[in-house]
Amino acid sequence: MAEVADESGLTKPTAHRLLGELLHAGFLEQAPDRRYQLGPEAYAVGAAAEARYGIQQQTLAAAARLAGASEDVAVVTVRRRLHYVCIHREEGRWPVRSHVLQLGDRLPLGVGSPGLAFLAAMSPDDAEEIVAANADEVSRTFPHLPPDRVLGMIDESRARSGIGLNRGLVGDDSAGMSVAVPAANGGPGVLSIGIVAPASRMEPDREPLLTSLLLREVEHLAGRGRVRRSGRADG
C-alpha cells in the first residue's frame, strides 16, 4: 500500500480506501504477505479488451514461430505510456532458460530490450523526453543505467534496424533482443516481440540469426496491418 501511495502521489489513507474499494469489487486480491495483486475482475476486463484490440491474439502465432526457430523464450510486450508490460511468454525447447520478463512484469521504457526497441522506434526528441521522465524511477532500481547510457543504447538500437539488445543489464546471465512492431499508420507501435535467453545463447555470432527471425515476424505482422488502434491501446 505504501508503494501505491508513493507512486500515485496519494495520501496513504486515500490509497488505502481506494485499494479497499478495488478489493471489494474484485479487481484486486491481497496475497498472504499483504501485497496487492490483480483479481478476477481485472482478468475479465482484460479479456474483453483483448477481443476488441486483438493484440495478444495477433502475436501468439508469431511468438510460437519465434520460440520454435530460436529454441529460446519468445516474449510479447505492450507499451503503456512510460512503461511496457509483458503480455505473453512462449517457452522454447532449449533446456536452460532466462527467467527475466515473466508474464505481467512491468518495466520503464529504456530498461531491457523491449524498452530500448520501443524508444528506438520513436523520434529522438520523444525518446529523450521519456528517458528524462523515467530517470528517477530507473535510477532507484537500475542505477547502472543513467540517462546518457540509455540514450547511447537507443542510438545503437536504431543502427541495428531498431533491434533493442540487452546483455546482463536487467538480470545476471540473461540477455534479450526485441523489436517494436510499427503501427498501421507507420508510426511507433505499442507492441514488441523479442527473445530472452541466457547470455551464452546470445553471443555476437548468433545475433544475425536472431535478428533475421525478429525482423521476419515484424514484417509479417506489420505487412498484414494486424497491429491496429495504436493510439487507443496506448492511451
Mean pLDDT of 63-75: 94
97-101, 104-108, 231-235, range with greatest mean pLDDT: 104-108
Distance of alpha carbon 37 from alpha carbon 17, whole angstroms: 16
* Residue 226 or residue 158, greater confidence: 158
Contact predicate 189/233, CB 8 Å: no
Domains and CATH numbers, the chain: 2-46 (1.10.10.10), 54-234 (3.30.450.40)
Asked if pLDDT for residue 117 goes beyond 60, the answer is yes
**70 contact partners, CB below 8 Å, separation of at least 6:** 92, 195, 197, 209, 210, 213
Q: What is the pLDDT of residue 33?
A: 87
Mean pLDDT of 1-19: 88
Q: What is the pLDDT of residue 185?
A: 74
Distance of alpha carbon 163 from alpha carbon 116, whole angstroms: 8
What DSSP designation does 96 have?
S
Taking the model in full, what pTM does it have? 0.75
Q: Is 89 helix (H, G, I), strand (E, B) or coil?
A: strand
Distance of alpha carbon 221 from alpha carbon 218, whole angstroms: 5
Mean pLDDT of 8-31: 90
Place of cell 520523444: 126
When pLDDT is cut at 50, 70 and 90, the band that residue 226 belongs to is: very low
Q: What percentage of the chain has pLDDT greater than the value 90?
A: 54
* Residue 60 or residue 43, greater confidence: 60
Q: What digits encode the pLDDT tens for the residues 122-132?
A: 999 999 999 99
